[in-house]
Structure 1
Amino acid sequence: MIRTEIKVETMVNEIKKTEDNIISTLGYIKQTVADFTDMFADMRGNITDEMLKRVEEIKGREESFKTLFEETRKNLTSGNEAEKEKLIQLQGKLEQPPIAFYAHHLKDLLPDTKNEILIFEKTFTNEGTGYDTSTGIFTAPVGGLYQFVIHTCAWQNKYAFLGLVLEGNVIAADANYGDASHGCNTFGALVRVKSGEKVWVKSTSSSSNRPLVQDRYRMNTFSGILVNN
């Protein structure tokens, strides 16, 4: 009987010990699961924050790239448009016929009236048809920088007073004196002329004693050329 009680008591103690071990083990497992859950939550939070940070950085870089690309595109477009315009202007200049005239043979050798226009009634050259042989007036077909040259010959021992006129204003003048064997002189101007403006040569003296001379040795001429527009 006593042995039976001792055996039962021993079994109870073993069961109690086993229960304690089980409870302890369950507690350890529970704590381990809790720790793992917390660790996983922390890891997930960290990974999420890092990923979000990277995503924001990528978005920022993408926006910067888009802005840079757009600015570059605009610059290239505006630059191409400017170059295109230059090419169009250059093409227009290349396609534009040359402007030049070279007129000779005075209609009147005695310009005795002040402001009388000298009419050179023949031309060797009249590119652009700007010079009118019936009026002695050159009308600029296009605006630009022009070079004009006047060559006249005064009668012996006589003076010729002449002027180059742009739109009514004298821009160059000459007092040519013919010595014992007549005398020739040249004058002119480099001037900017607008499209449609007129240029001519006139007498600046009203005296009737201002004859010019032309023969096979002497030629009175009026010429002009578009240098640059």
Structure 2
Amino acid sequence: MVNEIKKTEDKVISTLGDIKRAISDFTDMFADMKENITDEMLKRSDEIERREDSFKKLFEETRINLTSDLEAKTEELTELQGKIERPPIAFHAHHVVDLVLDTTDEIIIFTKNVINEGTGYDTSTGIFTAPVGGLYQFSVHTCDYMVKHAFIGLVLEGKVIAADSNYDKDYYTCSTVGAIVRVRSGEKVWVKSTASGSNRQLIEDVYRMNTFSGVLVNN
């Protein structure tokens, strides 16, 4: 019986040793697993932070680009709206009453409007006043009497920007002169005689017409 008890005791002690070793092995394995899991979690955390930083940077760049594009489009729309809201500027006048050019710098007045969009041309003074600033195109067509001279100047704010002379001893002649010029809002354009004399005279009949015209090309 003592031997049996001894054997049983030895088995218990051996079993306890096995359990202790198993617990020790499990503890070591758990510690390794914990360390591995911790390292993996740290790696994943670092990767998430890197991706988050990259996403934030991309988002900020996208936001800045979109904001810049939106501001540019807003400016374009504002400019386009301004152009749309502005009325077209164009005039075409004819019929000169005073055909004799006997005074130097005399303004040649075209008294009848065919079109006067923007009401810039004044038939009483012969002067066009630009309602808005921009790039304008002007044209002057005049006809002179036979054996008579015509010296014509297109004038912007007192300065001749285009000039023409015309003469024929046997027949009536016509000529055209024009210019493309930038005009500020409120500036004035007109046509004048650049040289006077008793032999300076225009002609106007059913076959010939003196005209002065202008149009806003771009503002």
Normalised TM-score (structure 2): 0.87
Unaligned runs of at least 5 residues, structure 2: none
Q: Deviations over 1:75-112 (max 9, x none)?
A: 22332332233233323323322211111122422233
1:121 and 2:111 aligned: yes
- CA offset at residue 21 of structure 1? 4.4
1:36 and 2:13 aligned: no
SS of alignment partner, residue 91 of structure 2: strand
1:48 and 2:38 aligned: yes
Q: Deviations over 1:207-227 (max 9, x none)?
A: 343111223332211111112
Identify the residue that residue 207 of structure 1 maps to in structure 2: 197
Q: 2:174 aligns with which of 170, 175, 184?
A: 184
Counterpart AA for 2:123: T
Q: CA RMSD in A?
A: 2.3
The alignment-based identity, stated in percent, is: 70
- CA offset at residue 14 of structure 1? 5.7
- Is the contact made by 1:136 and 1:200 (CA closer than 8 Å) also made in structure 2? yes
1:166 and 2:170 aligned: no
Identify the residue that residue 109 of structure 1 maps to in structure 2: 99
Identify the residue that residue 215 of structure 2 maps to in structure 1: 225
Q: Deviations over 1:122-152 (max 9, x none)?
A: 2111110111122211111122222211011
Normalised TM-score (structure 1): 0.84
Distance in 2 between residues matched to 1:179 and 1:67, nearest whole Å: 83
Identify the residue that residue 76 of structure 1 maps to in structure 2: 66
Distance in 1 between residues matched to 2:129 and 2:45, nearest whole Å: 72
Identify the residue that residue 89 of structure 2 maps to in structure 1: 99
Distance in 1 between residues matched to 2:121 and 2:128, nearest whole Å: 4
SS of alignment partner, residue 46 of structure 2: helix
- CA offset at residue 16 of structure 1? 5.2
Distance in 1 between residues matched to 2:81 and 2:22, nearest whole Å: 85
